[in-house]
Amino acid sequence: MKPDDIHAVIATLREEYKGWQTPAVTIVAQCNGSPFKVLISCIISLRTKDEVTALASARIFARAQTPEAMAVIPADEISELIYPAGFYRTKAGQIALLSRRLVEEYGGIVPDDIDELLRFKGVGRKTANLVVTLGFDKPGICVDTHVHRICNRLGYIVSKNPDETEKLLRLQLPPEYWIEINDLLVAFGQNHCHPVSPRCSSCKLSGLCDRMEVKTSR
């Protein structure tokens, strides 16, 4: 695709998005979710299906909604609350430690800066960007496997990993699309543009997509 085609891509995905299931972390943010809730949901969501993330987030936030409340919950109990999220024991320890650090070092306030968020164990660039964009409505580009895969599949960029994808998107993607690109492409990837055998025959972007590295499709 040509770089300027991104405007048509975004317009099409915005329309299609209305019929897709909203990503779980976005739902948390939309339901009066604090930056802390967005942060915790992001951690739970890593390598975890959206339906599991949604239920685990609901359980843990019924128990604690602030860093102060979360900091006093034993990691074993957090583990039970977020089960069966992937690597739930590891994530429980990260959530417990992160909550204590927020209380002790940040006055219970989640930082709104990507580099500061990266200082927390268990927080990578994907999570940091998502907290900044969904939690604070500040510019950022959250790149997960869907964003990385689809941007390369479209032919919009050529990159080897999500970190490189983020760098290239920051150079090329119009700023007005930064915050929403993750939501649109995650929903697109979950519902239509699958990693294996994407639904190319019924895709509204078929006329714009280069279909890079697509071996088989439906």
**Which residues are catalytically annotated?**
126, 144
Cβ count near 61 (within 10 Å): 21
C-alpha distances in Å from residue 152, one per residue of 11, 15, 210: 19, 22, 9
Burial bucket for residue 15 (CB in 10 Å: 0-12, 13-18, 19+)? exposed
Contact 184, 6 (CB under 8 A): no
Burial bucket for residue 86 (CB in 10 Å: 0-12, 13-18, 19+)? middle
Spell out the residues 6+ positions from residue 29 whose beta carbon is closer than 8 angstroms to its own.
Answer: 37, 38, 134, 135
Cβ count near 218 (within 10 Å): 10
